[in-house]
Amino acid sequence: MLNNQKTTVYSQLDKLERISNQISLLVSENDYEKINHLDRLRKKIINDMKVKEFKLNEDNKKTVMRLISQNKEIISEYKQNNSQELSKISNSKKCAQAYLATL
């Protein structure tokens, strides 16, 4: 049973790492639509690991913390870019409405 849990922990950590890498690629490609989905998957995996009370060794804990930290930075950058884009769109909309009001 303990060996099975170890395998599952490594499998979950591998999934987390792949998701993190995919998120990084999507940010670099400005493909922000898929990031939310991957972030939800990442959070689900972490919650599943908590619920199942997996025992993590120090290396695994460091890996999880590194991935969480890395993803928080990426998601923060994503949200900031998204906010800036929405602000630009809002400003363009206001300009168009002001122009139409003068007609």
Segment 31-62, tens digit of pLDDT: 777 887 888 888 888 888 778 777 777 777 78
Burial class (CB in 10 A: 0-12, 13-18, 19+), 39: middle
Q: Report the distance separating Cα 52 and Cα 97, nearest Å.
A: 54
**What pLDDT score was predicted for residue 49?**
78
Name the pTM for this structure: 0.60
pLDDT at position 6 over 70: no
Least confident residue range of 13-17, 78-82, 96-100: 78-82
Q: Is 78 helix (H, G, I), strand (E, B) or coil?
A: helix
**What pLDDT score was predicted for residue 93?**
92
Domain-wise residue ranges, the chain? 2-102
Average pLDDT over all residues of the chain = 80
pLDDT at position 101 over 80: yes
**What pLDDT score was predicted for residue 17?**
84
Q: Cα 64 from chain centroid?
A: 14
Longest dimension (CA), the chain: 75
